[in-house]
């Protein structure tokens, strides 16, 4: 007897009355991209899978729980454009996907500055003038918000040095987020400004040390402190998030470390960078290795835990790319992208192993490259 095709035997009236508690059980086991595509089914589903309903809607709450159970995405932003393309790597499913920002208003040169929780922090130019605006958005709920200007009325945006930016999101639903900007307006203004979504305002905090001329890499938050590596001479400075004051952090960096990047892995401070045994300050570094150091807080000393194998170094990196590496970390996994974004390497701090990430199909033509790399935690329950 021939088997009847499954979709012919489905009673639409029956399935449309599927109990909500059973629907919740099903949703928790679906991959997040599949769940989000369900917003296209009908207006009711689209409403239920948006933030407006997420705090009191059982279906949306089930999806939020599923988001928490899956590992964060690795978010890679390609070259700046009016609406940049975001490539995300789903660590749980080991596959690449694309996030669209087409829901944002028509702006020029949108670029992502930071990712925090389920939000993205962006800046953009308005028209063909020099006006710069800052926004936050949630790609999952397709909502966005323009932030008040971080500058005074007659204060232009200069971006005279590489600033330090961080984004702190509360782990409790509905509690909001904070954005920290240090040295945003160049050497003429070393103040630190903090935006609090609870008040919707920027506040000025402590200033950076006068000798700071910029930052070598992204900042990292560990135990309620923001850490950053300054440009030469390399130093680590820290700011307590509650107090807002800056101070120098000891110990000093290893003498042979060049182009250092700080990341947080399993609650520990980890540093990646080039290694040049002959380097002296004032000379151009010529690193011969990529090393990973871990801060031993009991001794307050840096401990070298691994080096990129020589064969992988020769195959994927060049001597001229160390100053443009991108790094991000989640759990024990530390991601490193080379200068053109064609390769993403992964170091496992627990297994002490190096692997290469599955290549992103959209980047295989080498016509675009990774400008920034962040860890992205999808969320439906964080407020703008």
pTM of the model: 0.81
The segments of the chain whose pLDDT lies below 50 read: 1-7, 51-55, 80
Q: Which residue, 220, 221, 255, is CA-closest to 235? A: 255
Q: Which residue, 188, 125, 122, is CA-closest to 152? A: 188
Report the pLDDT value the prediction gives residue 302, as an integer from 0 to 100.
96
Report the pLDDT value the prediction gives residue 281, as an integer from 0 to 100.
74
**What class does CATH assign to 71-376?**
mainly beta
Domains of the chain, residue spans: 18-66, 71-376
Please name the residues in contact with 375: beta carbons below 8 A apart, sequence gap of 6 or more. Answer: 72, 73, 74, 75, 115, 328, 329, 330
Report the pLDDT value the prediction gives residue 277, as an integer from 0 to 100.
87
Report the pLDDT value the prediction gives residue 188, as an integer from 0 to 100.
61
Bridge partner list, 192: 182, 205
Alpha carbons within 13 angstroms on the beta-carbon side of residue 130 total: 5
Q: Which residue, 136, 36, 44, 124, is CA-closest to 88? A: 36
Cβ–Cβ < 8 Å for 262, 219? yes
Please name the residues in contact with 276: beta carbons below 8 A apart, sequence gap of 6 or more. Answer: 256, 258, 285, 286, 287, 288
Alpha-helical (H) ranges within 99-250 are none
Cβ–Cβ < 8 Å for 181, 193? yes
């Amino acid at each position: 007897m021939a088997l009847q095709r499954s979709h012919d035997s489905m009673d639409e009236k029956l399935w449309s009355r599927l109990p909500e508690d059973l629907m919740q059980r099903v949703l928790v086991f679906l991959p997040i991209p599949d769940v989000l595509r369900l917003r296209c089914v009908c207006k009711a589903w689209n409403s239920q899978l948006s933030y407006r309903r997420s705090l009191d809607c059982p279906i949306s709450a089930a999806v939020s729980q599923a988001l928490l159970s899956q590992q964060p995405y690795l978010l890679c932003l390609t070259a700046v454009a009016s609406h940049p393309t975001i490539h995300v790597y789903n660590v749980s499913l080991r596959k690449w996907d694309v996030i669209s920002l087409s829901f944002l208003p028509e702006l020029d040169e949108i670029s992502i500055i930071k990712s925090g929780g389920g939000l993205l922090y962006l800046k953009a130019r308005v028209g063909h003038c020099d006006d710069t605006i800052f926004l936050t958005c949630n790609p999952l709920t397709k909502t966005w918000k323009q932030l008040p200007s971080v500058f005074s009325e007659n204060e232009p945006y200069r971006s005279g040095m590489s600033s330090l930016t961080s984004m702190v999101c509360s782990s409790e639903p509905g509690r909001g987020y904070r954005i920290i900007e240090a040295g945003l307006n160049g050497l003429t203004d070393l103040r630190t400004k903090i935006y609090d979504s609870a008040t919707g305002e920027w506040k000025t905090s402590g200033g950076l040390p006068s000798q700071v001329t910029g930052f070598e890499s992204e900042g990292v938050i560990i135990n309620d402190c923001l850490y950053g590596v300054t440009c030469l001479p390399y130093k680590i400075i820290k700011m307590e998030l509650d107090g807002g004051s800056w101070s120098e952090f000891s110990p000093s960096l290893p003498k042979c470390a060049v182009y250092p990047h700080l990341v947080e892995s399993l609650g520990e401070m980890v540093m990646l960078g080039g290694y040049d045994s002959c380097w002296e300050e004032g000379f151009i570094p010529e690193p011969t290795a990529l090393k990973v150091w871990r801060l031993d807080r009991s001794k307050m000393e840096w401990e070298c835990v691994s080096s990129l194998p020589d064969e992988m170094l020769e195959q994927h990196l060049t001597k001229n790319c160390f100053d443009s590496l991108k790094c991000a970390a989640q759990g024990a996994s530390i991601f490193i992208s080379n200068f053109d974004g064609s390769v993403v390497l992964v170091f496992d701090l627990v297994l002490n192993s190096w692997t290469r990430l599955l290549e992103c199909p959209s980047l295989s033509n080498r016509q675009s490259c990774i400008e920034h790399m962040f860890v992205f935690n999808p969320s439906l329950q964080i407020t703008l």
